[in-house]
Amino acid sequence: DTGVSQDPRHKITKRGQNVTFRCDPISEHNRLYWYRQTLGQGPEFLTYFQNEAQLEKSRLLSDRFSAERPKGSFSTLEIQRTEQGDSAMYLCASSLAGSEQYFGPGTRLTVT
């Protein structure tokens, strides 16, 4: 068990470009969560999956954001037409239903 992994760890992009992040959860975990953390703030919930099903989405998740977990294993988070306000650390976590969430190292996005 290597824990939750995220790729890439850092991403610099120009405003208006699309970006995609990947999260690989702990293998037996059926729940996968995405959070966003901006400088000086705590993480904010974006969305979560149980297996393939996306069960909840925050109102923070605008139409430019889309998340998928097609086979109930890894997940991707795509941001279209990035804006400077999207600059943040994007955190992924996984868990068994009702149990402790384990966090990955995060992907730091910088939009220039």
Query: Applying CB under 8 A, which residues contact another protein?
Result: 31, 33, 35, 40-45, 48, 55-56, 58, 91, 93, 97-101, 103-106
Cβ atoms of 32 and 94 within 8 Å: the answer is yes
Q: Are strands 10-13 and 107-111 parallel, antiparallel or unpaired?
A: parallel
Structural element, H or E, at residue 108: strand 107-111
User: Residue holding tokens 């969305």?
Assistant: 47
Give the residue with the Cβ less far from another protein, 82 or 92. Answer: 92
Give the residue with the Cβ less far from another protein, 72 or 105. Answer: 105
**Nearest distance from C-beta of residue 15 to another protein, angstroms:** 27
